[in-house]
Amino acid sequence: MKTIQSLFLVFALSIFSTIQAQSTNVNAKTQVELKQSYTYYQQRAIEDARYEQEFKASSSKEERAFWKEQKAYEKNLKSKDRRAYKVYIEAKNDAYANHYHNCNGSCYHSDYYYQHAGYYYYEYRQPRYSNTSTRATINTNIGVSTPRVRLGLF
């Protein structure tokens, strides 16, 4: 009986170790696949940025459709995989910054390009993108005191 128990124990441990080894191998494979997909999104961002910087539309309607399509792609990527979106945006930020330093105003870009590129530099959080008024405001504090009425016997 002891022999059967010990054989069963050895058999169970060998199966358990095989399962652990296989799961570690699967985890390593998925990590490699994730890194490859992130590398894909980095490369895709660089290519997209380069294409956007060289893009010349024949009409404003075509250009508007292109930029709308580009924003839809980024929004869809963000909803599907946030990490891939973050990798994509960081790589695109780097590509736009690199172009900004190399261009020095000598390149011609359309207004749509500058509106779209502003997102990568400022993420639409700069005051120039908000609708603020230029009028001056005056703050006044008005206080009204009320009379005190006391009732007492003494």
Domain spans, the chain? 10-127
Token pair 């010990």: residue: 6
Number of H-type helices and E-type strands within the chain: 4, 0
pTM (2 d.p.): 0.56
Return the closest-CA partner of residue 89 out of 67, 74, 70: 74
Radius of gyration of the chain (CA): 32
More confident residue, 138 or 8: 138
Mean pLDDT over 49-60 rounds to 88
Write out the two tokens for 13: 């441990």
Return the closest-CA partner of residue 80 out of 29, 124, 36, 37: 37
Q: pLDDT tens digits, residue range 79-101?
A: 998 999 999 999 998 888 888 88
**Percentage of the chain exceeding pLDDT 90:** 18
Tell me the CA distances in angstroms from 150 to 32, 91, 153, one per residue in order. 82, 74, 10
Confidence band of 39 (pLDDT split at 50, 70, 90)? confident
**Percentage of the chain exceeding pLDDT 70:** 65
Q: Which residues contact 129 (CB under 8 A, 6 or more apart)?
A: 118, 122
Confidence band of 55 (pLDDT split at 50, 70, 90)? confident
